Structure 1
Amino acid sequence: MPTLSAITLYPIKSCAGISLQEVTLTSLGLMTEQIYDREWMVVDSNGACLTQREYPRMALITPTIKATTLELRAPGMLRLEIPLGLQDPAGAPSLTTHIWEDTVLAYDCDALTAEWFTKAIGVPCRLVRFHANAERAVSTKWTNGVQTTTMFSDGYPILVAGSASLDDLNQKLVAAGRNALPMNRFRPNLVIDGIDAFEEDYAESYQLGEVVLKPVKPCPRCPMPSVDQATGEVGPDPMDIMQSYRAKPEVEGALCFGMNAILIAGEDQIVRVGQEIEVPLAF
């Protein structure tokens, strides 16, 4: 029987994730201790999102959820703690941010936080938090008309990958004289054991008890899998190996790994590592 083998929540877009044994699933994505996946984002002076694509050292910014703060650490930096309590939407400083083609209202974290991130990443930037009054709809082109929302994820609230898919890629990398890659290079939220390589692409749904996730769009990959998440250094890009067999015509030939998913049943239910998953196929 397929099982859920790993859960990772990324509080800050493009920074390190937090490995969890259990998590609450919501329509906005993963949530634990009232902290949502990709609830924060780093932006430049124009409010545009920064990612590891251009700034790979973001991988070294490591979050830890404390009782009342999100603690952040980075090499050579004093730790930073930002409060978890939401600000009053009426009076809190806010700014307009840009993530791909979307414009989103966000809380502007303070100047001390901006200074910390500027030093950690090496470019002027600020940390922002998804605003309580903001709403970012996903594209219904891929959801078959189902309307749902996300925070600062690239496009959909949950990313799912199968461990056998990584095994398959690693076999090809090793055969080409390259090093195998860990799953964190692809930054999925949920990892499934016990299904065939890339079977997640063809699933009708992923069902964990009362929770039903619907895979909606293959995840096109950018150069981020070439970033070593432990060192922040850029190494060989696996895209040349993926080129031979992971181009998806439904996304204009993009090289894909993992499936974007939305929640269609089981709002606020908890799922746990080791839990069995039903993965019925769509054909």
Structure 2
Amino acid sequence: MPPRVPMSTITLSGLFVYPVKGARGITLDRARAQGLGIEHDRRFMIVDPDGEFLTQREHPEMALLETAIEGDTLVLRAKGHGPLRLPLRPEGPTDRRVRVWSDKCGAVFVGDEAAAYLSDVLGRRAELVYMPDDATRRVDGRYVNRKERVAFADGFPYLLASEGSLADLNARLREGVLMDRFRPNLVVRGAPPWAEDAWTSLSIGSVVFHLRKPCSRCSVITVDQATGVRGKDPLATLATFRARSNRVYFGWNMVAEGEGEICVGDVVTLGARSYDEAG
């Protein structure tokens, strides 16, 4: 049995990776934290023939597209379809121009087999692209002091959420929701509700994370990740007490300083080195 941690201690209680942007994530016990995010996080993205990204905002059924990593293979599974196995690091020229919000960047076209599979699953023309290690999509310079990069996540390489904040939200809902509605990478336990709003940095293992921007939420959090069905909550309820300047917030966007392994159960230390002082 692991040692009992005092309630005053904050720990890492959840760790998730989403290999394909918008598709179902994978629960991890441990992971390697890197500059681009958790290893393999959102390195793949589904796009239309014009290179525009597709997400659960328009296609809530993407929540039912399962992902798995088996060795060097990415496995996709969808109801009524057999598994599709693809290289976890596809090779090819970075000559496919794609867009994530206002960012345009190069990507590797994964191939016709993946395009046909996803087109059949989604009922529209779709393709799969991959972001290689040397891609240069930058985090918004208004929120960072260095030139951090991000893969196909909306804007930042990490998203942090707190169990305490979710519990407070669920106490206000007629039917509670699971943390997967918010699609975080890191979940912490032991902090009071919304305490993360006052944090600036934290460390887990040897990795220092810097909280840069509260995460504004959209209709994706109204999609039940188990069924792909959209409702009104928790967005409607969050809007009653977590809105500011016409945006609704839950969770924090972060960048990482350094690389290293992090594990569920690790102690979270607040008030790590300031960003400007860091090596």
Q: How far apart, CA to CA, are the structure 2 residues paired with 1:65 and 1:238? A: 30
> Where do 1:161-176 residues align within 5 Å?
161-173=161-173
From 86, 96, 119, give the equivalent of 1:82: 86
Deviation of 1:69 (Å): 1.2
Deviations 1:103-141 (A, max 9, x none): 010000111110100111121110000134421001121
Which amino acid in structure 2 is aligned with residue 64 of structure 1? A
Which amino acid in structure 2 is aligned with residue 70 of structure 1? L
Which amino acid in structure 2 is aligned with residue 103 of structure 1? K
- Does residue 264 of structure 2 align to residue 273 of structure 1? yes
From 231, 250, 255, give the equivalent of 1:257: 250
Q: 1:268 to 1:280 in 2, by over 3 A?
A: closer
Which amino acid in structure 2 is aligned with residue 25 of structure 1? A
CA contact (8 A) 2:217 2:248 kept: yes
> Where do 1:111-190 residues align within 5 Å?
111-143=112-144, 145-173=145-173, 178-190=174-186
Give the alignment's TM-score, normalised by structure 1: 0.90
CA contact (8 A) 2:11 2:188 kept: yes
Q: How far apart, CA to CA, are the structure 1 residues paired with 2:44 and 2:129? A: 6
Give the structure 2 partner of residue 204 of structure 1.
200
Give the structure 2 partner of residue 23 of structure 1.
31
CA contact (8 A) 2:90 2:130 kept: no
> Where do 1:44-123 residues align within 5 Å?
44-88=48-92, 92=93, 94-123=95-124
Report the aligned-residue RMSD.
1.6
CA contact (8 A) 2:213 2:253 kept: yes
Q: How far apart, CA to CA, are the structure 1 residues paired with 2:238 and 2:134? A: 40
Q: How far apart, CA to CA, are the structure 1 residues paired with 2:89 and 2:141? A: 32
Q: How far apart, CA to CA, are the structure 2 residues paired with 1:169 and 1:96? A: 39
CA contact (8 A) 1:223 1:237 kept: no
CA contact (8 A) 2:205 2:261 kept: no
Give the structure 1 partner of residue 216 of structure 2.
220
- Does residue 185 of structure 2 align to residue 195 of structure 1? no
Deviation of 1:201 (Å): 1.8
CA contact (8 A) 1:104 1:135 kept: yes
Q: How far apart, CA to CA, are the structure 2 residues paired with 1:133 and 1:183? A: 32
CA contact (8 A) 1:218 1:259 kept: yes
CA contact (8 A) 2:90 2:108 kept: no
CA contact (8 A) 2:90 2:110 kept: no
Q: 1:280 to 1:253 in 2, by over 3 A?
A: farther
Give the alignment's TM-score, normalised by structure 2: 0.91
Q: Unmatched 5+ residue regions in structure 1? A: none
Deviations 1:182-215 (A, max 9, x none): 0000000000000011111210212113211000
Deviations 1:125-180 (A, max 9, x none): 1000013442100112122x23201000000000001001100000001xxxx210
Which amino acid in structure 2 is aligned with residue 23 of structure 1? A
Off by >4 Å, runs of 4+ in structure 1: none
Deviation of 1:68 (Å): 2.7
Residue 113 of structure 1 aligns to a residue in which SS? helix
Residue 275 of structure 1 aligns to a residue in which SS? coil
Deviation of 1:93 (Å): 6.9
Which amino acid in structure 2 is aligned with residue 275 of structure 1? D
Give the structure 2 partner of residue 39 of structure 1.
43
Q: How far apart, CA to CA, are the structure 1 residues paired with 2:94 and 2:264? A: 38
Which amino acid in structure 2 is aligned with residue 255 of structure 1? V
